[in-house]
Amino acid sequence: MEEKIVIKNFQDVPILSISLQSTLWNKTGTWRYLRPSYISFRAPCSQACPIEQDIPFYLTSLADGNLKEAWQKMLEANPFPAVCGRVCHHPCERECNRKEYDEALAIHALERFLGDWGIKGGKIEPKREKRDEKIAVIGSGPAGLSCAYFLSRKGYPVRVFEGMNEPGGMLRYGIPEYRLPRRVLNKEIERIESLGVEIQTGMRFGCDLGLEDLKPYGAVFFATGAQAEQRPMITGSDHQGVWHGLSFLQEIHSQKRPSLGKKVAVIGGGNTAIDSARAAWRLGGKVTVVYRRAKEAMPAIAEEVEEASQEGVEFIFNAVPVKVIDKKGKVQAIECLRTKPGKADASGRKKPVPIKGSNFSLPADSLILAVGERADLSFLPQGMKSENGLITADFWGRTTVPGIFAGGDAATGQGYVSQAIASGKRAALAIERFLEKDRPDPPQNGREVAGFERINLDYFPRAPRAKLPSLPVPVRARGFKEVHGGLGGLKAQKEAERCFSCGNCIRCHVCLVVCPDVAIAFNEKENGYLIDTDHCKGCGICAVECPRSALILEEEKWSE
């Protein structure tokens, strides 16, 4: 057994050879063959966001308690945060790296929190110097208003022409109050108007407004949406008690309460079908949705489908209606056929094929047809081309006529609110380049996406995803009150703290702390890190320990 050496005082310390001088004279950086570099990867949530929001930035600001900074960053990309926080299909969450660890971040809930915070007291930054060229926007849906918003922030005077009595397009007339309260939509539109955007309602293009009236404008953006309903070939679809989805939802918007009877059948699998079904349920009907494909193929937002199911809406999948059975002109039942998957169509999905002899009858007092919408292109000016029922336009919204741009569902056919906002945003940028004499298009964002394997999980304790408060199902049946509440300030901040900030440096100082050579320093003025290459040996500890993969190691290229 070895004898222990006990040091009781300084005199017991053995003689050591030490230096009291600095070690900076020894430039150990010459040993290095790898160099650490700070780099900004793209977070998968931002990659998936149609609007291309810098989600990690505003979530980091929210986690730090800087709500104003977070809100203003969000408004740089999205004029409708409070709307999107309620009705967006949030593809960002499907790509969130956190879902591989515990649960995806509740990005939509945080977007709503910041949007609602801005409605209560946020002030938008002043716009730039006024420009001379006037812009006309036809249609005040999410695409049209977004285009107007971004152009106005650049200083352009914008006038929006809307055929309906109120602005908002499908946001107002196609989404029920229980998903999107009108007070929220109105406040978001008021913010856009506060920038100087003029909105004229009751001005339908081709009726109250023509191409001649648009000559004083330097550019025109068509965002007329897809509000002409598809009419399926069903025998007896003209009987009393047959509704079309958008017409039904517009009746709901006008505070009318259509008499549907006790049993309601809804045909379709998109958002209009689900909104119609849930609205009909709130009117007291026993609702059944019939969809021609499997549940997994429904284009409706998955969460909305689940909400409908929780509320008591029933579903029949792989079936198509063929005939309305009536009694003295009134709907009594819907005759349907079962379907099976056939060959893939142009969209890549397998086309449903009716099975002969599989007829069955579904009792119904009313029928709501919600099998999709199409764009009414009868207004198109001469020279503007269309294809497959859509205005022909490139990625930036440029049509075949110089100076005329198009976006939203009339040009893209994509159908989601965030995609419409994105097309309006792109068109605004393209219009600016057009007015500035065709500046080249910017290159696409080619940054590498930070995958889950890059995250250092040692720095992230597991934490459950924040849950939004919801109305009990019996309470929902009493009216159209908003189903989901928002997060409180503390819960929102805690949820934002769960964000990995994938690939983005948030100045956490881990690299500074773990560097064995003290070769990393933080520059307050530049708000960034400096690497002392005279003393960094390239050990790589900083890059390995970085929680968010904001550092990489590259082979050093020494000059000869």
> Which token pair is 546?
């970085």
pLDDT tier at 312 (50, 70, 90 boundaries)?
very high
| 133/346: higher pLDDT | 133
Task: Tell me, rounded to whole angstroms, the distance of Cα 10 from its chain centroid.
Answer: 67
pLDDT at 316 (0 to 100)? 97
Higher-confidence residue of 363 and 379: namely: 363
The amino acid present at 90, given as its one-letter code, is H
Partner residues linked to 161 by β-bridges:
138, 200
CATH class of 44-124+448-497: mainly alpha
Mean per-residue pLDDT for 416-421? 95
Domain boundaries, the chain: 10-38+505-555, 44-124+448-497, 135-226+375-435, 248-368
pLDDT band at 527 (very low <50, low <70, confident <90, very high): confident
Q: How far apart are CA 48 and CA 419, in angstroms?
A: 11
Say what the pLDDT of residue 2 is: 66
Q: Which of 46-60, 229-243, 250-264, 513-527 has the highest mean pLDDT?
A: 46-60
Residue 227 in 3-state DSSP? coil
- CA 500 – CA 258 distance, rounded (Å): 48
Q: What is the pLDDT of residue 261?
A: 92
Q: Nearest-CA neighbor of 535 among 19, 20, 23, 18? A: 23
pLDDT of residue 360: 95
Give pLDDT tens digits for 452-510.
Answer: 999 999 999 999 999 999 999 999 998 999 999 999 999 999 999 999 999 999 999 99
Spatial separation of the C-alpha atoms in residues 466 and 62, rounded to whole Å: 15
Within this chain, domains 135-226+375-435 and 248-368 share the same CATH topology: yes
- Asked if pLDDT for residue 207 goes beyond 90, the answer is no
How far apart are the C-alpha atoms of 502 and 504, rounded to whole Å? 6
Encode 178-209: b = buried (16+ Cβ within 10 Å), e = exposed. Answer: bbbbeebbebbbebbbebebebeeebebeeeb
Model confidence at 556, in pLDDT bands (50, 70, 90)? confident
Confidence tier at 211 by pLDDT (50, 70, 90)? confident
pLDDT for position 164: 93
Straight-line distance from the first to the last Cα atom of the chain, in angstroms, rounded to the nearest whole number? 57
Two structure tokens written together for 449: 């996406």
pLDDT of residue 269: 93
Determine the average pLDDT of the residues in 25-38.
88
Most confident of 17-21, 107-111, 503-507: 107-111
Give the model's pLDDT for residue 345: 79
The CATH number fitting domain 10-38+505-555, selected from 3.30.420.10, 3.40.718.10, 3.30.70.20, 3.40.1210.10: 3.30.70.20
User: What average pLDDT score do residues 261-270 get?
Assistant: 94
The pair phi, psi for residue 47, each rounded to 5°, is -60, -35
Per-residue pLDDT tens digits for 428-465 = 999 999 998 878 888 887 789 999 999 999 999 999 99
* Helix 182-194, helix 107-121: angle, nearest 10: 60
Cβ–Cβ contacts within 10 Å for residue 480, how many? 18
Whether pLDDT at 385 is above 90: no
Cβ atoms of 221 and 135 within 8 Å: the answer is yes
135-226+375-435 is classed CATH 3.50.50.60:
yes
Strand, helix or coil for residue 258 = coil
Which is nearest to 236 in space by CA: 335, 135, 119, 115?
335
> Is it the case that residue 230 has pLDDT exceeding 80?
no
pLDDT classification of 276: cutoffs 50, 70, 90? very high
Residue by residue, DSSP assigns 273-329 as: HHHHHHHHHHTT-EEEEEESS-GGG--S-HHHHHHHHHTT-EEEESEEEEEEEEETT
The whole-number pLDDT of residue 432 equals: 95
CATH number 3.50.50.60 is the correct assignment for the domain at 248-368: yes
Confidence of residue 11 (pLDDT cuts 50, 70, 90): confident
Predicted pLDDT of residue 231: 75
Mean pLDDT of 18-32: 80
- Phi and psi, residue 242, nearest 5°: -100, 125
Helices (DSSP H) in 154-270: which residue ranges? Answer: 170-173, 182-194, 245-253
Q: How confident is the model at residue 348 (pLDDT cuts 50, 70, 90)?
A: confident
Question: Which residues are CB-contacts of 545 (< 8 A; sequence separation ≥ 6)?
Answer: 456, 510, 511, 514
Higher pLDDT, 329 or 90: 90
> CA nearest 410: which of 370, 377, 378?
377
Percent of the residues in the chain that have a pLDDT greater than 90, as a whole number: 72
Tokens 């003295």 -> residue: 328
Q: How many CB atoms lie within 10 A of CB 154?
A: 18
For residues 58 and 114, is the Cβ–Cβ distance under 8 A?
A: yes
Tell me: the pLDDT tens digits for 335-346? 999 999 988 877
Distance CA 161, CA 140 (A): 7
Mean pLDDT, the chain, rounded, equals 91
Distance CA 169, CA 144 (A): 9
For residue 560, pLDDT over 60 is answered with: no
Contacts of 159 (CB under 8 A, 6+ apart): 134, 135, 136, 137, 197, 198, 199, 200, 217
Q: What pLDDT shows up at residue 150?
A: 96
Q: Which pLDDT belongs to residue 21?
A: 75
C-beta separation of 495 from 109 below 8 A: yes
Question: Is pLDDT at 122 greater than 90 in this prediction?
Answer: no
Q: Read off the tokens for 62.
A: 């929210």
Confidence (pLDDT) at 414: 83
Confidence of residue 10 (pLDDT cuts 50, 70, 90): confident
